[in-house]
Each structure stands twice: as structure tokens, then as C-alpha cells.
Amino acid sequence: MRFLLFAVAIAAASTAPVHALAHGFAGKRFFPATISIDDPFVADELSLPTVSTVKEPASGDSPATREIEASGEFSKRITPEFGISIGSEFRRRIPDEGRAESGFGNVELMPKYRILVDEAGEGVLSAGLGIELGGTGSARVEADPFTTFEPTLFGGKGFGNLPDSVALLRPFAVTGFVGLAIPNRAATSTTHVNEDGDAVIESERHPHVLRYGMTLQYSIPYLQSFVRDVGLGAPFNCMIPIVEAVLETPLDRGAAGRTTATINPGVIWSGGSVQVGVEAIVPVNDRSGVGVGVIGQLHFYLDDIFPDTLGRPIFGGGQ
């Protein structure tokens, strides 16, 4: 039942007519739904599927492991400024040594409030609370048994007000976020029997984690519509080259300073009510991964597909 809502929405979307874009605007600036980090807007949208493959490094007694994920996320506006999203993923973990395991990760929720939109300055600021519901996923794929709360700030800024002397820089925009992951349990203790038949208690500590990241994007649609028409046709006229950076830094409980990070270059194609994106996942240090991974996403703008029903706020009306 976990993905029933996603399946129903996408089935309806496949038969709906296409409408003009209504998602992610600040003035003339369109911000796409980014792949590796959440964008700063509140919207009615569906990401299904997002598929990734990365290889995690060996750690302690655990071998290096290939992790493949297929996830979905549904977002719904309650009011024009406030919305909530729900998502989860199916994981398959394939270690270099040992048996592969499959299962669902934890369910994740994100209430988000759009604080302001600066139309003239192409800026947006939002705040949210990420909630990973511990125990809703499978321990076989290392879903956490504890719940984590993550208060987060999101922002975005377009460079469309730069002077004429640097007009070709106007299509650039940045988005970013910063959040603090707070586990509701300091540690998890497990008991097992060693080779001598003695019961051994092991404790895994759960640190507070600073999570942060940003994107740098260059909008070809913005370039051709508001700066200079360079004559690019389909599909290039709908493309937004992008680089995303995602970082995590534990702060305490024996893990302080062990930052992991990836740099994810790629491209997003946004046309009408559907968006497609793909990025490489490049680890920045030995803790962050082994080799280069990849992530891809199919994304639906429900506020454009169903502007009068599913794609409008429950309260407050309009876009």
C-alpha cells in the first residue's frame, strides 16, 4: 500500500492534458524540481520514480556495498504557502561479500512553509521539518529503527537582475538548504551471542548531523526568452544544466567532523507538465563512496496537469 497513492496519481496524469507551467516561479525565473536536494517551493507534484545506484565504501567489518534505490514522493499544497510531502524508497543492497538484501526504507514526511517570494529579485525562502519515521522500513536494508526530525531552511536566487554588461550570466540561479538531523534516540543497543556462547551487548550511537547543500543551474529557457535567443531548438531549448552538492557532517557522539559529500553534475529537461533529469554522483572523499554513481528522475507537475482539482491548494484556492 506504500506506493498506492503514487500509482493512482501517475495513472491519472498519463491521460490529462498539458497546461502551462505553474510550478516554481519567482518573477520570470522558473526553478526546476532538483533531484538530489529538495527545492525551496511548495507545490503539487509527484516524483516517480527516482532511481539511483551508488557504491558505499567498506566500514569496519562491513564490506563495500552497491546500493540501488527506486523511490517515490508525493507533495500536496494545503494552502498556497503550506504543503506536505510523503515518500519512501525500495532498496537493494549488494555487498562485495555476502548475501544481497532488499526491502523498503523508512517513510519520510516533510511539512514545508513558503516564507516569502521576491518576484523582482527572483528569490524564495521556505522552512520545513523533515521527519523520518523510524521502524517503518526494513532492518535488512539498514532502515533506522529510530525517528529523526530535521528542521530545515530552503532558499533560491536567480541572477536575472545582473547588469547588461554580464547579461549572459543572468540565466544562472542557485538554490540551497541547511538542516539539522536530530535523532529521537541517542543510541541503539543490540544483544548477540559470541563464539563462546556469552551474551554481548553492542551499542550504536546516533549523532546529530548537519545536512546542507546547494545547486548551481543555468537555464537555457531563461537565456532564450529573456536574454538572447541563440536559436537552440528542441530538446535543448528546455534544458537546464545543473550541478548539485550534498554534504553531511556529524556533530557529536563519536562521529564529529566525519563529513561525507557528493558533487552531482547533470541536466534537467522540463517540458510542459513533465520533467526528466539525470546526474552523476561523484564522491568527494573515501567516506562518501566508491567510484561514480548515477541518479535519474521522472517528475510530474500536478499543479499543471490538474490545475482545477488535485493540483490546487485544498484551502485558499488559485495557484
Residue 282 falls within a domain, yes or no?
yes
Question: Given the DSSP bridges, would you call strands 148-158 and 107-118 parallel, antiparallel or unpaired?
Answer: unpaired
Find, among 115, 74, 66, 123, the residue nearest to 95 by Cα.
Answer: 66
> Nearest CA to 264 among 50, 113, 60?
50
If you average pLDDT over residues 4-14, what whole number do you get? 37
Q: Is the pLDDT of residue 9 over 60?
A: no
**Is 307 a residue whose pLDDT tops 80?**
yes
Can you list the positions of beta strands (E) in the chain?
Answer: 25-26, 29-30, 45-56, 65-77, 82-95, 101-104, 107-118, 123-133, 148-158, 172-183, 187-193, 199-205, 209-218, 239-250, 260-271, 274-283, 293-301
**Helix/strand/coil for 11:** helix
- Domain assignment of residue 316, yes or no: no
Domain annotation covers residue 202:
yes
Beta bridge pairs of residue 218: 172
How far apart CA 93 and CA 195 sit, in angstroms, is 27
Residue 200 lies in a domain: yes
What is the predicted pLDDT for the residue at 22?
47
| C-alpha grid cell, residue 36 | 538530489
Under 8 Å between Cβ of 169 and 159: yes
Residue 88 within any structural domain of the chain: yes
Give the pLDDT mean for 83-88: 98
Task: Work out how many domains the chain is built from and give that number.
Answer: 1
- pLDDT, tens digit, for every residue of 161-220? 999 999 999 999 999 999 999 999 999 988 777 777 777 788 899 999 999 999 999 999
In this structure, the number of other CB atoms found within 10 A of the CB of residue 306 comes to 20
Classify residue 303 as exposed, middle or buried by CB count within 10 Å of its CB (0-12, 13-18, 19+): buried
Residue 67's pLDDT band, with cuts at 50, 70 and 90, is very high
Phi, psi of 40 (to 5 degrees): -85, 10
Specify the DSSP class assigned to residue 140.
G
Mean pLDDT score across all residues of the chain: 91
How many C-alpha atoms does 85 have within 13 Å on its Cβ side?
24
Residue type, 123: G
Q: Which residue range is the domain that position 50 belongs to?
A: 4-305
Q: Which amino acid is at 295?
A: I
| Grid cell of 12 as nine digits | 491519472
Cell representation of residue 91 = 532498496
At 74 the pLDDT is 98
Q: Find residue 94's DSSP bridge partners.
A: 66
Residues in the chain: 319
310 domain residue, yes or no? no
pLDDT in tens, 236-261: 999 999 999 999 999 999 999 999 99
Q: What gap in Å lies between CA 46 and CA 24, rounded to an integer?
A: 14
Asked if pLDDT for residue 302 goes beyond 50, the answer is yes
- Within-domain flag for 311: no
Kindly state the cell numbers that stand for 269.
529537461
pLDDT 10s digits, 135-152: 999 999 999 999 999 999
Q: What is the pLDDT of residues 12-62, one digit of tens each?
A: 333 333 333 347 999 999 999 999 999 999 999 999 999 999 999 998 788
Share of the chain above pLDDT 70, in %: 92
Q: Does residue 261 sit within a domain? A: yes
pTM of the predicted model as reported, rounded to 2 decimal places? 0.89
CATH number of the CATH domain containing 76: 2.40.160.40
The whole-number pLDDT of residue 62 equals 86
